[in-house]
């Protein structure tokens, strides 16, 4: 009944929408109605998995769910585009697992039962997902943590615990199907003793070979003709090799908005006007916050580190005359202006070795203070004290409790920055995001002169007048180019600009040259018709694109006219190989030594040693030549053999049998092949079903 109710609700809503649209068709124009219908079209689906259409809204819901899980697990929300893309990939993979992989695994007879899930989650055989997630402070799996978490779910009013546990169980469930499916493949890949012995023999047998090679060359042989009929026959027999993704060929003109000379001079005037106050201010942080494009940093610089910003600033800061309070002249780097002031100069260690005792709970601070007092009185080893108090002792380092390791300004636990200024072997208390630490610095690197430097930075930015000037140029070009590709080329010639050609642009492309975040350009070219020219497309607020769509390559089998030149080249090489093989055979007929062959063919003898048919180390040889060597007798002139780049005549001078390839090597190779097969499971399933990933249209 519950399922029936869901069907009624779902289809009741759909019927209501259809009736509403039918009524609206009497009072709205057809264009508006068409637009409304398009929103229900499959064009707006994110993709299709095993015949199941994935609507954009459903996918967004899935992404939001994974974003919430990610925030719960990491404590932070995904802000960067890379992090968001990773979450979208995880959400999509979850849908692939749900609608494709698990269904296929079940069709193969695989089952993950209820009792099995209990054992994998809260039982005696925890999944790796569980054992890696529920750990103690030392990073070791703690089954009690699992029990306590599950018990706390009903008390969580936010529902986050339940959402996380559902995610964990689903991950365990899916992973178990993957384990079983991979095991099904691996255990059915049986290598008999005869096959193993043959593999070991092949890999332990090497050959030494002398050979000559006549290259195909680069000059075109006009006696070889590839007819249209031959090209078509080849195309029909090899269509599967010409599958292609949808792509576009374009040309584009881009106007980059850059500061004018007037804008640069304005930035210089601003810096000059701030120079005196920058030199004398008593509140540098506040001053830079109000006036600079760079905030004040507490970082202690070593010689050379400021060179990444400006070699002139680095040279000024570490000049012998640059003491605390010294101010540089105005420095220009590109379209940016800088003034630097040495705030502090001091010999410092850039790395310290830190040990700690981590305390957590209500009495952590009081316990930490007590431990520090005991340590300062002396007579008790740091690690012994940790053990006596039965508290978390941090990580293990060479068997000694409490070692965090070397810490620097760039490799630092948040909240523990003060260790860089601490005295050696003098314990103190620090509070971090992980809890309360009793910390001692046991070692420091040799001090060196380091400096804190305040930097006033002003970047020249394009003014409104400059922005309008570039937009006007782009608009003029777009007006001339409007109407079609021929007009676009005429505009290029008239205005003397460069048109960037770009072939095979995929739907997921968002980078054009050095310009990223340009997905709007891609969206336009995939919606446009052939030979269309765009209006101005603004990217990142400082690039104006005008794009011409030259050609459209549809997804599927490439039409013969798009690949016929490649086919002609392939057939030409086949015919050339046959011709040169026949000619070479006639030339060397009756010759008895490889030296005579080389002299006749006006070339020299080459030698290759330790050639093995099965060894990866021999893959630098022409594959066809390598196969011929494996089957050739010793001490006999063999060939000619047509290879990939030329024709070979050769003699196997000797074969050697070693024992360097063992059963362990064969087992490792089989393991690698099994791993490869496991990676191919999903791609093969996708190819065999109605699968389509259209996410690039939307993200």
What is the domain partition of the chain in residue ranges?
1-40, 108-187, 202-220+562-657, 246-258+462-554, 261-348+454-459, 352-444
* Least confident segment among 150-159, 451-460, 530-539, 565-574: 150-159
Residues 268, 274, 279: CA angle, nearest 5 degrees: 120
Q: Do the domains 202-220+562-657 and 246-258+462-554 sit in the same CATH topology, yes or no?
A: yes
Please give the CATH number for the structural domain made up of 352-444: 3.10.50.40
pLDDT at 200: 82
Phi, psi torsion values for 676, nearest 5 degrees? -65, -45
pLDDT at 293: 96
3-state secondary structure 109-159: CCCCCHHHHHHHHCCCCCCHHHHHHCECCCCCECHHHHHHHHHHHHHCCCC
* Least confident segment among 143-147, 210-214, 535-539: 143-147
Tell me the HSE value of 380 on the side-chain side, using a 13 A CA sphere.
Answer: 16
Cα–Cα distance for residue pair 427/444, rounded to 1 Å:
15
pLDDT at 388: 57
Cα–Cα distance for residue pair 93/99, rounded to 1 Å:
10
pLDDT of 228 over the 50 cut = yes
Cα–Cα distance for residue pair 361/632, rounded to 1 Å:
77
What are the structure tokens assigned to 356, written together?
């700690």
Q: Give 298-337 pLDDT, tens digit per residue.
A: 999 999 999 999 999 999 999 877 899 999 999 999 999 9
pLDDT at 149: 87
- Residue showing tokens 């979850």: 94
Cα–Cα distance for residue pair 138/396, rounded to 1 Å:
9
Q: Are 614 and 203 in contact (CB under 8 A)?
A: yes
pLDDT of 407 over the 70 cut = yes
Cβ neighbourhood burial of 467 (10 Å; 0-12, 13-18, 19+) = middle
- Residue showing tokens 């992404």: 63
Q: Are 413 and 407 in contact (CB under 8 A)?
A: yes
Non-local (6+) Cβ contacts of 168 within 8 A are 121, 129, 130, 133
Q: Of 404, 406, 418, 420, which is closest to residue 302 (Cα–Cα)?
A: 420
pLDDT at 137: 64
Q: Are 572 and 222 in contact (CB under 8 A)?
A: no
CATH T-level assignment (fold) for domain 246-258+462-554: Chitinase A; domain 3 (3.10.50)
Write down the H helix ranges in 128-245. 128-133, 143-152, 160-188, 193-204, 228-237
Q: Give 433-490 pLDDT, tens digit per residue.
A: 888 888 999 999 999 999 999 999 999 999 999 999 999 999 999 999 999 999 999 9
CA dihedral angle for residue 522, residue 527, residue 528, residue 533, rounded to 10 degrees: -40
Residues 213, 219, 225: CA angle, nearest 5 degrees: 105
pLDDT of 395 over the 50 cut = no
Confidence of residue 78 (pLDDT cuts 50, 70, 90): low
* pLDDT top residue among 126 and 23: 126
pTM of the model: 0.70
Cβ neighbourhood burial of 276 (10 Å; 0-12, 13-18, 19+) = exposed
Q: Are 424 and 443 in contact (CB under 8 A)?
A: yes
Q: Are 78 and 67 in contact (CB under 8 A)?
A: yes
- Residue showing tokens 């494009």: 293
Instruction: For residue 493, give the H/E element and its range.
Output: helix 485-495
What are the structure tokens assigned to 433, written together?
């995001």
Q: Give 229-276 pLDDT, tens digit per residue.
A: 999 999 999 999 999 999 999 999 999 999 999 999 999 999 999 999
Q: Are 317 and 324 in contact (CB under 8 A)?
A: no
Q: Of 283, 272, 278, which is closest to residue 337 (Cα–Cα)?
A: 272
What are the structure tokens assigned to 17, written together?
């929408």
pLDDT of 594 over the 60 cut = yes
Query: DSSP string spanning 605-620?
Result: -EEEEEE-SS-GGGTT
Q: Which CATH architecture has domain 202-220+562-657?
A: Roll (3.10)
| β partners of residue 323 | none
CA 216, distance to chain mean position in Å, is 40
* pLDDT top residue among 675 and 541: 541
Q: Of 13, 187, 156, which is closest to residue 72 (Cα–Cα)?
A: 156
* pLDDT top residue among 658 and 379: 658
Residues 596, 597, 602: CA angle, nearest 5 degrees: 100
Confidence of residue 9 (pLDDT cuts 50, 70, 90): very low
Cα–Cα distance for residue pair 455/316, rounded to 1 Å:
12
pLDDT at 243: 92
Cα–Cα distance for residue pair 422/101, rounded to 1 Å:
56
pLDDT of 197 over the 90 cut = no
* pLDDT top residue among 365 and 495: 495
Maximum alpha-carbon separation in the chain: 99
Confidence of residue 617 (pLDDT cuts 50, 70, 90): low
* Least confident segment among 35-49, 170-184, 626-640: 35-49
pLDDT at 155: 87
Write down the H helix ranges in 261-417. 261-280, 284-291, 311-317, 364-377, 382-388
pLDDT at 385: 57
What are the structure tokens assigned to 320, written together?
């012998």
Cα–Cα distance for residue pair 422/440, rounded to 1 Å:
8
Give the three-class secondary structure for 321: coil
Give the three-class secondary structure for 366: helix
pLDDT at 194: 87
Q: What is the average pLDDT across 376-394?
A: 57
pLDDT at 15: 33
pLDDT at 698: 87
- Residue showing tokens 């922005």: 467
* pLDDT top residue among 693 and 403: 693
Mean pLDDT over the full length of the chain: 86
Non-local (6+) Cβ contacts of 295 within 8 A are 285, 288, 289
Q: Give 522-532 pLDDT, tens digit per residue.
A: 999 999 999 99
pLDDT at 379: 56
Instruction: For residue 654, give the H/E element and its range.
Output: strand 646-657
Q: What is the average pLDDT across 331-350?
A: 95
* Least confident segment among 15-24, 105-114, 208-217, 497-506: 15-24
Q: Of 54, 175, 51, which is closest to residue 686 (Cα–Cα)?
A: 51
* pLDDT top residue among 427 and 72: 427
């Amino acid at each position: 009944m519950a399922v029936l109710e869901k069907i009624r609700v779902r289809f009741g809503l759909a019927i209501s929408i259809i009736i509403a649209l039918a009524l609206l068709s009497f009072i709205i124009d057809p264009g508006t109605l068409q637009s409304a219908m398009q929103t229900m079209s499959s064009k707006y689906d994110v993709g299709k998995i095993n015949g199941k259409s994935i609507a954009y809204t459903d996918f967004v819901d899935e992404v939001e769910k994974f974003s919430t899980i990610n925030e719960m697990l990491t404590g932070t929300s995904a802000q960067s585009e890379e992090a968001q893309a990773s979450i979208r990939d995880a959400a999509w993979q979850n849908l692939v697992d749900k609608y494709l992989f698990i269904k296929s695994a079940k069709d193969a007879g695989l089952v993950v039962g209820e009792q099995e899930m209990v054992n994998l989650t809260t039982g005696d055989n925890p999944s790796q997902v569980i054992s890696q997630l529920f750990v103690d402070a030392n990073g070791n799996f703690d089954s009690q943590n699992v029990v306590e978490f599950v018990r706390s779910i009903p008390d969580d009013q936010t529902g986050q615990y339940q959402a996380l546990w559902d995610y964990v169980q689903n991950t365990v469930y899916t992973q178990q199907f993957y384990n079983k499916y991979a095991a099904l493949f691996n255990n059915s890949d049986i290598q008999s003793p005869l096959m193993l012995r043959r593999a070991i023999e092949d890999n332990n047998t090497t050959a030494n070979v002398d050979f000559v090679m006549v290259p195909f060359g680069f000059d075109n042989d006009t006696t070889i003709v590839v007819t249209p009929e031959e090209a078509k026959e080849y195309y029909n027999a090899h269509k599967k090799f010409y599958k292609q993704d949808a792509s576009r060929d374009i040309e584009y003109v881009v106007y980059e908005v850059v500061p004018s000379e007037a804008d640069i001079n304005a930035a210089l005037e601003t810096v000059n006007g701030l120079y005196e106050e920058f030199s004398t201010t008593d509140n540098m942080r506040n001053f830079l916050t109000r006036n600079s494009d760079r905030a004040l940093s507490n970082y202690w610089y070593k010689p050379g580190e400021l060179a990444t910003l400006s070699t002139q600033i680095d040279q000024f800061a570490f000049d012998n005359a640059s003491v605390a309070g010294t101010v540089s002249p105005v420095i220009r780097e590109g379209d940016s202006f800088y003034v630097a002031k040495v705030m502090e100069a001091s010999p410092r260690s850039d790395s310290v070795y830190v040990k700690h005792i981590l305390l957590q709970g209500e009495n952590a601070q009081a316990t930490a203070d007590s431990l520090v007092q005991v340590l300062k009185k002396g007579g008790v080893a740091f690690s012994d004290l940790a053990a006596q108090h039965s508290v978390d002792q941090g990580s293990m380092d060479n068997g000694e409790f409490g070692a965090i390791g070397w810490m620097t300004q760039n490799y630092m636990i948040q909240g523990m920055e003060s260790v860089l200024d601490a005295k050696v072997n003098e314990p103190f208390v620090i509070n971090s995001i992980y809890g309360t630490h009793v910390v001692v610095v046991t070692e420091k690197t040799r001090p060196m002169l380091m400096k804190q430097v305040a930097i006033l930075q002003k970047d020249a930015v394009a003014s409104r007048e400059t922005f309008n000037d570039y937009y006007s140029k782009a608009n003029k070009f777009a007006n001339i180019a409007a109407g079609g590709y021929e007009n676009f080329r005429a505009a290029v010639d008239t205005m003397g600009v460069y048109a960037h050609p770009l072939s095979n642009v995929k739907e997921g492309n968002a980078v054009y040259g050095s310009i990223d975040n340009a997905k709007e350009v891609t969206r336009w070219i995939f919606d446009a018709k052939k030979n269309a020219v765009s209006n101005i497309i603004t990217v990142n607020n400082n690039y104006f694109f005008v794009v011409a769509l030259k050609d459209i390559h549809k997804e599927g089998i490439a039409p013969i006219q798009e690949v016929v030149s490649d086919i002609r080249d392939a057939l030409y090489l086949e015919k050339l190989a046959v011709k040169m093989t026949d000619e070479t055979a006639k030339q060397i007929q009756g010759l008895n030594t490889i030296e005579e062959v080389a002299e006749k063919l006006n070339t020299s003898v080459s030698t290759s040693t330790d050639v093995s048919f099965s060894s990866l180390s021999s893959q630098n040889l022409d594959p066809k030549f390598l196969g011929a060597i494996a089957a050739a007798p010793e001490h006999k002139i063999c060939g000619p053999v047509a290879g990939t780049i030329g024709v070979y005549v050769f003699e196997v001078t000797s074969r050697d049998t070693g024992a360097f390839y063992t059963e362990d090597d064969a087992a490792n190779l089989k393991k690698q092949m099994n791993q490869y097969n496991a990676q191919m499971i999903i791609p093969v399933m996708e190819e065999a079903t109605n699968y389509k990933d259209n996410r690039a249209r939307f993200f």
